Amino acid sequence: MLFLFLSPEFVRLFADKNYWGGINLIPLIVLSIFFTFLYSFGVNFELYLRKTKWIAIGTTAAAVVNIVLNALLIPKYELCGAAIATLISYVLLFVFHQLCARKMQDELQYPYGILFFIKPIGIILMAVILFYIVQNLLIIRWGIAAIVWFKVAYPLLSALIEKIPKKPGIIATWMLLAFMLVNVSISSIALARYQERSKGKNANNNIEKWIDTKYDDNLMNRVYPKALIVD
């Protein structure tokens, strides 16, 4: 949900203008991913009971529904039609597996009734509606994101971090720091060689040759579509 309200700026920062039209589809994609997560509750219950044929049936039926809806919606609504078709397919898959799990609970009690999902579904739906309302209001969107971070995300993240034992936590911290230093160093060298290649400068050592091979102009253009070559 935090990413949802910050997503327009991330897309504009990291993606080419040709992809900015997809910002309006992000809430629908978020909903689809959310229902993908929700239907896993029923699927895992079926896997535990070894009733896997219903997983195959549900997946096949959802795929057929998705194909039919794509054929109906894409000609009229284009990308939005495809996103809606995907969302509907995952919602139906969630409902299907919920019904299957409830039917199978003669062998074992299925603990997740529909009431269990109402609150999280309601929250994510309200977030999506709110996103569309404030989509063009930058300060309000970021304000909502800040509230979500300080009231929800940060306390949960902090609680998880506090559960990490001290010694493994120190090791993990140093490993993360080392990874970030290596990542920043390689990115910096790749950008420097990207600029030098644009000026016709050849690689002077094995490291630069390796960078030119692994991070050629095509890759750099995809990763950094907004990078400007300066003198």
Q: Which residue has the higher pLDDT, 222 or 27?
A: 27
Residue 231, pLDDT score: 62
Q: Which residue has the higher pLDDT, 175 or 112?
A: 175
Tokens 């720091």 belong to: 177
Residue 230, pLDDT score: 65
Amino acid 46 reads E
Model confidence at 35: pLDDT above 80: yes
Residue 64, pLDDT score: 95
Residue 85, pLDDT score: 94
**Cα separation, 190 vs 187, whole angstroms:** 5
For the stretch 102-138, pLDDT in tens is: 888 776 788 888 888 999 999 999 999 999 998 888 8
Give whole-number Cα distances, 27 to 14, 118, 125, 206, 228, in Å.
Answer: 18, 18, 9, 46, 31
Q: Around Cβ 50, how many Cβ atoms within 10 Å? A: 7
Taking every pair of Cα atoms in the chain, the longest distance, rounded to a whole number of angstroms, is 73
Q: Which residue has the higher pLDDT, 224 or 157?
A: 157
pLDDT level of residue 95 (50, 70, 90 thresholds): very high
Amino acid 40 reads S
Is the pTM higher than 0.85? The answer reads no
The share of the chain scoring above pLDDT 90, in percent, equals 34
Q: Around Cβ 64, how many Cβ atoms within 10 Å? A: 11
For the stretch 38-80, pLDDT in tens is: 999 999 988 888 888 889 999 999 999 999 999 999 999 888 9
**Cα separation, 68 vs 55, whole angstroms:** 20
Residue 227, pLDDT score: 67
Contacts of residue 152, Cβ cutoff 8 Å, sequence gap at least 6: 1, 2
Residue 36, pLDDT score: 92
Of 189, 223, 184, the residue nearest 204 (C-alpha): 189
What average pLDDT does the structure give for the chain? 87
Residue 197, pLDDT score: 85
What is the secondary structure of 152-189 as a DSSP string? IIHHHHHHHHHTS-HHHHHHHHHHHHHHHHHHHHHHHH
Of 106, 122, 104, 126, the residue nearest 114 (C-alpha): 122
What does the pLDDT average to over 199-212?
Answer: 85
